[in-house]
Structure 1
């Protein structure tokens, strides 16, 4: 007879349970710790989100019942579909000029012809002038989806009225030093078109040297005027063509109202190797008294070439009937002597500017600028054919600028001018030291 002994599983289960208990406890502890860790992480995320929301609410503008669409949009304020932005700068200048040139606050930054007058007056005195008139205020707008395109506008004013304005209109230095705003730019852009007043298409501001007395070098093209311009894409850059305001006179002594606008064009290339452009202008110069009309033109080449680090070289060369376009009307558009004799003779000139900008550090930089211009044609009634006693001018600028912030620039600049006398080998010299503080907003 076979005897069967039953297998008792309880001792085995107890043994297995006892052996596995530490592992189970460890697993449970691990799961609990993981749950606690995830919970803590979730709490941190919620707290960070609450802080972000609180910050967003505190910095957002409050909605008003009468202006429910007031919202911030980038650097501007959005009202309905239009974003409005404000800008400009305060520029305070101290000018020390040779030849007894105190730079009256009626036009403190001066013109090459006023420098030439100071150079020739025989005075060895240095005079001082202060001004804040180059300060500017600007307003820009952008409206989205205007017939499928963005519509942008820009208007800019400063306080540099013309030196020839009446004394009562330009203010004075006796008590108030008050001056009226002056329109610099006012234009709108839409679907490749520019309408209004801005810098002439005949110049490339990318090549403009960085000097404190901006635009006041001998030969640079620097004009703002009303125009109708079209911009189109071209290989490597863009092509711009414009009809611009015609003018062949000066300070109210216009020869005549012109029959046709100035035609300007510029082909611009911008890439990793710099900025390059070629520009041209075609002008109609006429005089009803002489019953004569002449078509004249000019060309300009410019470049801004990166060199070492952040340094760059800026170049511009211009030739032709440049007249008022170059050097802030250093020369007239026609031979004034020939005009008085009943003939219209466009005055050919040329100008060249070279500037090197060097960064000593991210905050410190300097520019060295050499600029020269000269009359090419022989003046028939010298020196009455031009606006002053000289037929060539040369300027040299050297400065040191400090910008601890993009909105703050302090600088000191030295300028030297040489004016070559007509029909002689002599020349007159002018010097200027300028200290400037520019604070943008």
Structure 2
């Protein structure tokens, strides 16, 4: 019985991390002929107050861009929006084919409909755009910041792919995602092969866990030189309920030539994965990161969540080869703590305090304190 309670607690907190809510999301279910239909989504209000420099993105998430060297930046910035609001439709055919289309309003800097999910699946085969297979929410701490902690496991975003799932194991071929340090190299980069991923995600006793690997080709062709290298990435993530009230969760990631999949590294999200050296060879750039957090269920729809995450990119080889990387982010980190309250089913309100820090290769650094408020109404 205790084991079942622990598993339920883990699954509930994992769902909260994915949806950014402290309660169970709802849906409108109905039949359309022989099809089972579900319409779901939420309206979300986000507000932020930046005590130091203005680090707010759309949805009021915290940004690392411009954070280093922000000592003399104007202080005290307030903003609010509803761009995180989303709507989705799921349908299942009589033959068992499931189709999901979902969007939110973060596109174009905010206010424009953005496609999040558009895929179909049947008998374990999925094709379309959805969460990368090189992603897991098992180790995530629930945050009000839509972009959450640096170092969360994997890509933490959606991409076009073909995936096959059998039990806890899933493999995929995905649209490649990488960049070179310099603009000139990016202008002649090419995608010759899909990204290959494999992920194992399961639970045992009082623990849920996930582990994944990824490999892809990094290449360029300038008409004279046609060079490439292999990039790879891996992560492990876990969540454990230590009691009926408390969960502890976290993740560890390592990349080499795949920093686009090292969450919130670089300028804000993925750092460059490679550079072209003086001989025209593609040289990979490595990085690592991790998170640790705790969730405390206070009962009555109330919870406290505390999390820390950091990522670090190794620019030493690029710097030694004369590549201009002084302004690149070497370390991004954040600590966040929030209180979430569900006064009635499908309504969440919360407040979050966060501290963002960044240090560049040059040694220039900066940090910023932020306060967030959110109200979410699910259907």
- TM above 0.5: yes
Q: Does 78-87 or 341-350 show the bigger shift?
A: 341-350
Give the structure-2-normalised TM-score: 0.82
Please say if residues 248 and 324 of structure 1, whose CA atoms lie closer than 8 Å, have aligned partners that are also in contact.
Answer: yes
* Offset from partner CA, 1:380-427 (integer Å, 9 cap, x none): 238965594430111100000101233111000011012123143x63
Question: Alignment partner for residue 75 of structure 2, among 125, 138, 142?
Answer: 125
Give the superposition deviation at 1:113.
2.9
* Greater Rg over alpha carbons, structure: 1
CA distance in 2, matches of 1:102, 1:323: 22
Question: Alignment partner for residue 162 of structure 2, among 207, 212, 228?
Answer: 228
What is aligned with 1:262?
Answer: 195
Q: Residues 408 and 298 from structure 1, CA distance in 2 versus in 1: closer, same or farther, beyond 3 angstroms?
A: same
Question: Alignment partner for residue 211 of structure 1, among 127, 137, 143?
Answer: 143
Question: Alignment partner for residue 372 of structure 1, among 310, 323, 327?
Answer: 310
What is aligned with 2:18?
Answer: none
Please say if residues 335 and 386 of structure 1, whose CA atoms lie closer than 8 Å, have aligned partners that are also in contact.
Answer: no
Q: Residues 227 and 128 from structure 1, CA distance in 2 versus in 1: closer, same or farther, beyond 3 angstroms?
A: same
* Offset from partner CA, 1:189-241 (integer Å, 9 cap, x none): 100111111111111122221000133312113121011000012xxxx1000
Gaps of 5+ in 2: 1-26
What is aligned with 2:339?
Answer: 400
Please say if residues 150 and 265 of structure 2, whose CA atoms lie closer than 8 Å, have aligned partners that are also in contact.
Answer: no
1:242 paired with 2:172, answer yes
What is aligned with 1:417?
Answer: 356
Matches within 5 A, 1:349-368: 349-368=287-306
What is aligned with 1:325?
Answer: 261
What is aligned with 2:231?
Answer: 296
1:93 paired with 2:25, answer no
CA distance in 1, matches of 2:40, 2:62: 27
Q: Residues 341 and 159 from structure 1, CA distance in 2 versus in 1: closer, same or farther, beyond 3 angstroms?
A: farther
1:76 paired with 2:29, answer yes
CA distance in 2, matches of 1:401, 1:352: 24
CA distance in 1, matches of 2:345, 2:205: 23
SS of structure 1 residue aligned to 2:65? helix
Q: Residues 83 and 92 from structure 1, CA distance in 2 versus in 1: closer, same or farther, beyond 3 angstroms?
A: same
Please say if residues 414 and 433 of structure 1, whose CA atoms lie closer than 8 Å, have aligned partners that are also in contact.
Answer: yes
Q: Does 369-378 or 119-128 show the bigger shift?
A: 119-128
Matches within 5 A, 1:91-170: 91-101=44-54, 103=56, 107-110=58-61, 112-114=63-65, 116=67, 120=70, 122-144=72-94, 146=95, 150-163=96-109
Q: Residues 360 and 369 from structure 1, CA distance in 2 versus in 1: closer, same or farther, beyond 3 angstroms?
A: same
Q: Residues 294 and 335 from structure 1, CA distance in 2 versus in 1: closer, same or farther, beyond 3 angstroms?
A: closer
| Deviation >6 Å, runs of 4+ | none
Give the superposition deviation at 1:153.
1.1
Tell me the number of residue pairs that the alignment of Structure 1 and Structure 2 aligns.
341
SS of structure 2 residue aligned to 1:103? coil
Give the structure-1-normalised TM-score: 0.71
Question: Alignment partner for residue 319 of structure 2, among 377, 381, 389?
Answer: 381
Please say if residues 269 and 277 of structure 1, whose CA atoms lie closer than 8 Å, have aligned partners that are also in contact.
Answer: yes
RMSD, aligned CA = 2.6
1 or 2, which has the higher helix percentage? 1
Give the superposition deviation at 1:256.
2.1
What is aligned with 1:195?
Answer: 127
CA distance in 1, matches of 2:142, 2:187: 32
Please say if residues 260 and 273 of structure 2, whose CA atoms lie closer than 8 Å, have aligned partners that are also in contact.
Answer: no
What is aligned with 1:344?
Answer: 282
Gaps of 5+ in 1: 1-73, 164-169, 171-178
